[in-house]
Amino acid sequence: MTIKVELQTPILARNEETAEEIRYLCQENNIYLVNIMSSPGAGKTTLLEKALGYLSKELRTAVIEGDIATTRDADRISAHGVEAVQLNTHGACHLDARMVYQALQKLEWSQLDLILIENIGNLVCPAEFNLGEDLRVVLLSTTEGNDKIVKYPVMFRDAQMLVLNKVDLLPYTDFSKAEMEQDLAGLNPGMEIFYVSARLEQGVEEWADRLIKLVKRSAAEHENLGQS
Ligand SMILES: Nc1nc2c(ncn2[C@@H]2O[C@H](COP(=O)(O)OP(=O)(O)OP(=O)(O)O)[C@@H](O)[C@H]2O)c(=O)[nH]1
Ligand SMILES: [Mg+2]
């Protein structure tokens, strides 16, 4: 007799339900939720540290930090005077909607316009889990090589925005921007691309400005819907 255990579908189905609750909660409170993903060390926290200065001028912003262990990233963010909630997964390679829902309980929703989630450094698992986000951003860094886009297609296909970070290191790597653009055009033609050096703070203001526009546009649309 063959016994088959279906694990994946119920786990993801339950995740979808919680993601819907998060989406509803954020809509009700006019909060824009961004899920930031990349491989370990691509520069997610550095980008956030640099972008928060621009974002916080216009938007009330908080950060949810996902890591397997330590509060290091949340500590880096809160050192900039921004509220940060640290989630430790104790081994799990991605954040799921239930974890994010728990982190949201620690924040004062009426005081926020934007919540940035830094997912666990991993190009595989985080792509599978809907967090109820408005926007998915994937970071790629010039030191990782061009093959990541085609080797991890789900991550790059399902995000709306790509940030190529560490462009200051381009002269020292074999990374090709042209090849990257070509691969993305095949996989995800509508994807917005930003070229950034988080370390040198190049391109960070442009990226932050784009987020600010998206948050304000979403809030205006929500207000219009409420009036009609
Ligand atoms: N040269 C260069 N180094 C950078 C840049 N951005 C980040 N780094 C460096 O890359 C390393 C990793 O940066 P983090 O911001 O911690 O990366 P992360 O994606 O948050 O890492 P995890 O949270 O562990 O997944 C640090 O040593 C940063 O100083 C950049 O634009 N250029
Ligand atoms: Mg980090």
Average model confidence (pLDDT) across the chain:
96
Mean pLDDT value across residues 3-18: 85
Mean pLDDT value across residues 68-77: 97
CB of 121 shorter than 6 A to ligand 1: yes
For residue 200, the ligand 1 atom closest to its alpha carbon is 31
Question: Could you tell me the residue ranges of all domains in the chain?
Answer: 17-216
For residue 165, the ligand 1 atom closest to its alpha carbon is 31
Residue 79 has pLDDT above 80, yes or no: yes
Distance from chain centroid for Cα 207: 13
Q: At what angle do helices 97-104 and 8-28 cross, to 10 degrees?
A: 30
CA-to-CA distance for 13 and 29, rounded, in angstroms? Answer: 25
Strands 61-67 and 114-118: parallel
Mean pLDDT value across residues 93-110: 97
Ligand nearest to the CA of 163: 1
The DSSP output letter for 79 is: T
Q: What separation in Å is there between the alpha carbon of 196 and the centre of ligand 2?
A: 16
Write the CA distances from 50 to 11, 35, 69, 161, 179, integer angstroms.
Answer: 36, 17, 23, 18, 28
Mean pLDDT value across residues 91-115: 97
Q: What separation in Å is there between the alpha carbon of 98 and the centre of ligand 1?
A: 27
- Residue 59 · residue 51 · CB < 8 Å: no
Count the Cβ atoms, other than its own, within 10 Å of residue 10.
Answer: 9
Residue 172 has pLDDT above 80, yes or no: yes
Asked if the 17-216 domain carries CATH number 3.40.50.300, the reply is yes
Residue where the block lists tokens 């993801």: 12
CB of 186 shorter than 6 A to ligand 1: no
| H/E stretch holding 183 | helix 177-187
